[in-house]
Structure 1
Amino acid sequence: MVTQAERVSGPLSTWDWSSWRLSPRRLAAAAVVAAYAVLLAASAETALRWLAVLLAIEVVLLCLPWRLPRNRRSRPSFWLEVLVGLSAPLGALLVAAVVDSSLWGGWPAWWWYPVALLCGAGLVLLGGMDLRKLRNGDLAFLMGPTPHGRARAASGALAPPGEELLFRAPLLVVSSPAALPLGLLSGLAFVAIHYVQPGSNGRDSTRSLAVAMVAAVILAALTLLSGSVYPAILAHLLNNAPGVLLHLQCEREDP
């Protein structure tokens, strides 16, 4: 609970250098993403080397001592952390636009989109969120108000297209024998990137880890079988949609 004295003192600073310690989980997650970036950097494709640079920069920035708890920080401070987390996904969109548009793959047959919607809906159900309580606002009431709801919602809404370019598009570009190790490592890196930041970030349960791993497999399968990242993007967006709505419901000026 925030006391009156704490309210008067204002928001906390962005950084907490005095307690900068990378937990074993964060170190392992960063190492997995770094290994994937190295594999991309070894590719002959210029676009993949750019993706490797983006991932390396983002991991380094995410490992900085972002202060917890985040609700005690100002909006600009929290938006800075969100934008760091979006730097590689948004940068990947720029790479696909300027360096190599083939990262998107081709246009798949129309029926891949309803398949993607079914996959996304399945991931939502697997995640276990009570959609009825989400609709009537009970989940937002239980979570409590936050001044950072819009920032969290922006992260969930903007990340999927770029993340699919980072972790699934290379599967369409690299040919065997590098395709198999790249496919395995890209799935692990997709899961790991969500554990590099400090704090639990809502991913401190075995179920959340299992859902992320299943999502990595499903999104990779959609990409490889359809020959495009568009179905995976659609499924990813649908999977993130309940969380985006929940964060918007929790947004308050003064928590």
Structure 2
Amino acid sequence: MIAAERGYTFTAVVDNHAAPDKLRGMKALGTELVYVVDDGTEELATAAREELAEDMARGQDNTVFTEQHNNLANGVGYFPVAHELHEALDGDIGVLIGAVGTGGALCGTGRELTKLMSGFTVIGVEPKGSIAFGGPAHDYYQSGTGTPEGATIGALVDFDLIDEGVKVGDIEAFATCRAVARTGLLIGGSAGGVVHEALTRLSDLPPGTTMVALVNDGGEKYMDTVFNDEWMSERNLLSPDTEREVDELLTKLRRNR
């Protein structure tokens, strides 16, 4: 979007793991899409994408590889979020929870908050199958988050800042998206993982504790995937029982307001 506004030529190196709606949206804005793997497979090819993007930019005049996993501007861009949260909540934040992909959103917000206040807990959420917080590596369908096997954990992931790292499976993350949508809000898959973890922790928080869950992904880009029953069923991700469990957590939350 910024490239279109400023007249830059923008190329995105992508794979078929990305939601089709995301790819169509970028193309509509004038982006050239370069597929690192163009055989129709849904493999998450983070390392290959970054390697190709770096190779494409190397030696080219007026060409920049943004390298979001190691670009400090990624985290700095979230400093205003920290100030907004601090002001809106009068510095009363007990827990900050968010997805960990590049680490920019959670660690950028959390790092700046430490300059404004102390005594809060930072919880990072990644998909099951991601390797940032250890555990076995395997494929996952949540996009825009996590670190797949073979990829390097970016410099922006600040393990000294993150007090606890947890994993949420695709079924739970996507069931949360679908349940939350029925309340009138569309959130994306990675956000579903964050909200699911936040909802399950609410009852364990000390009374009066404020938890802030960072929702960095809207659901409008997932009509063909998370919100498509056929797509979900083909991948054994559709779980009405899990959706009902999330519905119950949301109902409990509303009652306790």
Same fold (TM over 0.5): no
Between structures 1 and 2, the one with greater strand share: 2
TM-score with structure 1 setting the length: 0.28
| Structure with more contact order per residue of length (Cα contacts < 8 Å, sep ≥ 6) | 1
TM-score with structure 2 setting the length: 0.28
Between structures 1 and 2, the one with greater helix share: 1
